[in-house]
Chains A and B, each alone.
Chain A
Amino acid sequence: MAGINDIPDSGESLYYYPGCLSLNIYPGIAYSTLKVLEILGYKVFLGDEICCSLPFRNVGLMSSETVYSINALIMSKACLKSRFIVTSCNGCYSNLNNTLKKMSDEDFRKLTSELKLTIPQDVKILHVAEVVYKQVEEIARIGGRGLKGLRVASHYGCDYTYAHPDLVIDSVEYPRFLDDFTRRLGGEPIEYDEKQTCCGQPAVKGVGDVTMELAKKKILSMNSLNTDIILVMCPACLLAFDRVQYSLINLGEIDRVMPVIHISQLAGLVLGLNPKDLGLDLHLTREFSRLQGLR
Chain B
Amino acid sequence: MSENKGKALIQHYILKCFQCGVCTGSCPVSSITSFNPRRIAYKIVKGIWEIDEVWYCLTCHICEARCPNCIKFAEVVMRLREENIKRREDILDIYREMLKQFLDSGLIIKPINSDVEKYRERLRQNLNREEFREVLMEIFRKTGFKGV
Q: Closest Cβ of chain A: how far from B55's Cβ, in Å?
A: 5
Cβ of A203: which chain B residues have Cβ within 8 Å of it?
56, 58
Bound CA span A47–B28, Å: 34
State in angstroms the CA–CA spacing of A204 and B112 once bound together: 19
Residue A189 at the B interface, CB < 8 A?
A: no
A70 to B132, CA, bound (A): 10
Q: Determine if A46 and B107 form an interchain contact, defined as CB atoms under 8 angstroms apart.
A: no
- Chain B residues with CB under 8 Å of A144's CB are none
Are B125's CB and A158's CB within 8 A?
no
A47 to B127, CA, bound (A): 9
* Least CB distance, A254 to chain B, in whole angstroms: 18
Q: Chain B contact residues (Cβ within 8 angstroms of A): what range?
A: 35 or more
Which residues B30-86 have CB closer than 8 A to chain A? 31-33, 55-56, 58-62, 64-65, 78-85
With A172-B65, A200-B28 as contacts: A24 and B116 at CB distance below 8 Å: yes
Q: Are B94 and A61 in contact (CB-based, < 8 A)?
A: no
Q: What residues on B are CB-neighbors of A106 within 8 Å?
A: none
**SS of B interface (majority):** helix
Whether A197 is near chain B, meaning CB under 8 Å from some CB there, is yes
Question: Is B102 close to A, CB under 8 A?
Answer: yes
Closest residue on chain A to residue B128 by CB atoms: A48
Task: Tell me the complex Cα distance, A159–B68, Å.
Answer: 20
Cα A162 to Cα B143 in complex, Å, equals 28
Return the CB mask of A47-61 against B: 1 if under 8 Å, else 0. 111110101111111
**CB pair B85 A23 closer than 8 Å:** no
Give A26-42 as 1s and 0s: 1 = Cβ < 8 Å from B's Cβ atoms: 01101100100000000
Is A141 in the interface zone, CB < 8 Å from B?
Answer: no
